[in-house]
């Protein structure tokens, strides 16, 4: 259960401090501890502390950062919660499946401290750009006619599902999933690879920056789905370097 407490909950652009406090409480009752706040509007705040009740220690330990990059740079598995499907649909897991998946990945050797779950701002949720930093979108299957939970309540449901998944001891006859024991690339290296991939297809005139359409988002989705390993990112970076060097020679 130690690994459960290492999973990172990331709240982005939270408007109401009460939600931050209620989130801390929702996490602590389920055994989670790591709270990261990206650009909270009011924090620290008396309302947050009051709503946290006996979980005020999580607020004291919370890490406040200016950008999503800083919140997840070292993460190898990032999941984004959203009630809404998007025009470019992302690989999706229901909340229970997501918790089971995360538990399996951790049992197979992935560090729980390098996994993060993102929650969006109250008014509009996660932007497409934020969601596209994730390997999966997580949806809490709610009433289709009114599916948007309060932020802290969404954190409660996810934390609850994580606790149930982590309480289930893996049976000895279930071998760990081998794919997860390879080192998955962290967010920082995947982002720098995607940036260079973008540069490459612009230089090759495959992508017109004036009219990008959805090309780069589709490519991003492909590589996110692939769950790149560190060594694979190195191979791909090497290929891009070779292509760009050839391109520059020819010019």
Indicate the residue among 105 and 152 with the shorter CB distance to ligand SAH: 152
Q: Which residues 83-102 are close enough to bind ligand SAH by CB under 6 A?
A: 83-84
Distance CA 100, CA 80 (A): 15
Indicate the residue among 34 and 81 with the shorter CB distance to ligand SAH: 81
Say whether residue 149 binds ligand SAH (CB under 6 A). Answer: yes
Say whether residue 21 binds ligand SAH (CB under 6 A). Answer: no
Specify the stretch interacting with ligand SAH by CB under 6 A; choose among 27-35, 46-54, 101-109, 142-150.
142-150
Cis ω on the peptide bond leading into residue 44 (within 30° of 0)?
Answer: yes
Least distance in Å: CB of 147 to ligand SAH? Answer: 5
Which member of 45, 74, 97, 122 binds ligand SAH (CB under 6 A)? Answer: 122
Q: Is the dihedral of CA 8, 4, 120, 73 positive or negative?
A: positive
Are 151 and 81 in contact, with CB atoms under 8 Å apart? no
Which member of 23, 107, 119, 159 binds ligand SAH (CB under 6 A)? Answer: 119
Which member of 67, 128, 147, 168 binds ligand SAH (CB under 6 A)? Answer: 147
Gyration radius from the chain CA atoms: 19
Indicate the residue among 152 and 233 with the shorter CB distance to ligand SAH: 152
Which member of 35, 76, 77, 82 binds ligand SAH (CB under 6 A)? Answer: 82
Which member of 124, 206, 210, 222 binds ligand SAH (CB under 6 A)? Answer: 124
Least distance in Å: CB of 144 to ligand SAH? Answer: 10
Say whether residue 17 binds ligand SAH (CB under 6 A). Answer: no
Q: Which residues contact 66 (CB under 8 A, 6 or more apart)?
A: 38, 39
Distance CA 241, CA 184 (A): 22
Are 203 and 243 in contact, with CB atoms under 8 Å apart? no
Least distance in Å: CB of 197 to ligand SAH? Answer: 28
Indicate the residue among 47 and 189 with the shorter CB distance to ligand SAH: 47
Are 23 and 35 in contact, with CB atoms under 8 Å apart? yes
CA distances from 71 to 126, 133, 178, 188, 206 (A): 15, 12, 28, 11, 32
Distance CA 153, CA 165 (A): 18
Residues engaged in binding ligand SAH (CB under 6 A) = 81-84, 119-120, 122, 124-126, 138-140, 142, 147-149, 151, 154
């Amino acid at each position: 259960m130690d690994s459960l407490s290492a999973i990172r909950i990331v709240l982005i652009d939270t408007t109401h401090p009460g939600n931050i406090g209620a989130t801390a409480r929702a996490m602590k009752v389920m055994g989670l501890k790591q709270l990261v706040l990206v650009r909270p509007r009011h924090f620290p705040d008396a309302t947050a502390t009051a709503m946290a009740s006996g979980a005020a220690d999580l607020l004291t330990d919370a890490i406040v950062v200016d950008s999503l990059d800083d919140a997840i740079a070292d993460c190898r598995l990032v999941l984004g919660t959203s009630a809404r499907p998007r025009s470019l649909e992302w690989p999706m897991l229901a909340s229970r499946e997501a918790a089971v998946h995360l538990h399996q990945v951790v049992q197979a050797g992935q560090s729980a401290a390098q996994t993060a779950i993102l929650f969006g701002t109250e008014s509009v949720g996660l932007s497409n750009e934020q969601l596209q930093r994730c390997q999966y979108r997580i949806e809490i299957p709610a009433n289709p006619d009114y599916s948007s939970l309060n932020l802290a309540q969404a954190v409660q449901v996810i934390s609850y599902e994580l606790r149930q998944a982590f309480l289930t001891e893996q049976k000895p006859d279930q071998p760990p999933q081998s794919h997860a024991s390879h080192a998955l690339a962290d967010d920082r290296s995947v982002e720098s690879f995607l940036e260079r991939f973008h540069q490459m297809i612009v230089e090759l005139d495959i992508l017109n920056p004036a009219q990008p359409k959805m090309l780069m988002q589709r490519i991003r989705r492909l590589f996110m789905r692939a769950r790149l390993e560190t060594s694979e990112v190195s191979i791909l970076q090497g290929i891009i370097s070779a292509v760009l060097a050839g391109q520059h020679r020819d010019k």
